[in-house]
Copies of this chain bind each other. A is one copy, B any other.
Amino acid sequence: MKAILVMITIMILGGNLLSKNQLRMSKQRLAILNTILDLRSHPTADEVYQVVRQKLPRISLGTVYRNLEILSSSGMIRKVPLGGPQMRFDGCTEDHVHIRCIQCGRVDDLPMDPPNTREGDIQKKSGYRIIGHCTVFIGICPVCQGEGGDEAA
């Protein structure tokens, strides 16, 4: 799955994106992308850094930040502000809903539809042109509830 996505990415880079701004897929950038697709969690920049470092020990945190920015503005990953002090990144670029544990900071995807909001309605009422949305539930995860619950999705 990961491999497929990366191949698609490279195809895209070889096609549209590359022709626009000469975006290259360096081994650092690829490793960062792989890491996020692999993890399937919602890592912070530093978490990505720690993982990528195991493969590329000389990579710098600045490079990670730079590439996270590039990858997310290219639409290959998503930058999600989930409420904590750090930005988080998500390999899943489709609209979905998150839930964050207020105690341990863990973040999961929520198996539910994005808000039922008719975007047209919102545009009419607010005057805004809607681009997207970010819905985060806050709660206490099964583990933090006292080892009593079962694991979330």
Which A residues lie at the B interface, using CB under 8 A?
81-84, 97, 99, 101-102, 108, 110-112, 115-117, 121-123, 125-142, 145, 149-153
For the complex, what is the distance from the CA of A129 to the CA of B101, rounded to whole Å?
9
Number of identical protomers: 2
From B108, B116, B121, B132, give the contact of A126 (CB < 8 A). Answer: B108
Distance from A151 Cβ to chain B, minimum over Cβ atoms (Å) = 6
Contacts of A141 in B (CB 8 A): 127-128
Contact B151 A127 (CB under 8 A): yes
Contacts of A122 in B (CB 8 A): 99, 110, 112, 137
Contact A111 B125 (CB under 8 A): yes
Distance from A78 Cβ to chain B, minimum over Cβ atoms (Å) = 12
Contacts of A112 in B (CB 8 A): 117, 121-122, 125
Supplied contacts A111-B125, A134-B138, 17 more A-B pairs, CB within 8 Å: A99-B122, A99-B128, A101-B128, A108-B126, A110-B122, A115-B115, A115-B135, A116-B116, A123-B139, A126-B139, A127-B141, A127-B150, A129-B140, A130-B137, A133-B136, A133-B137, A134-B135
For the complex, what is the distance from the CA of A136 to the CA of B134, rounded to whole Å?
5
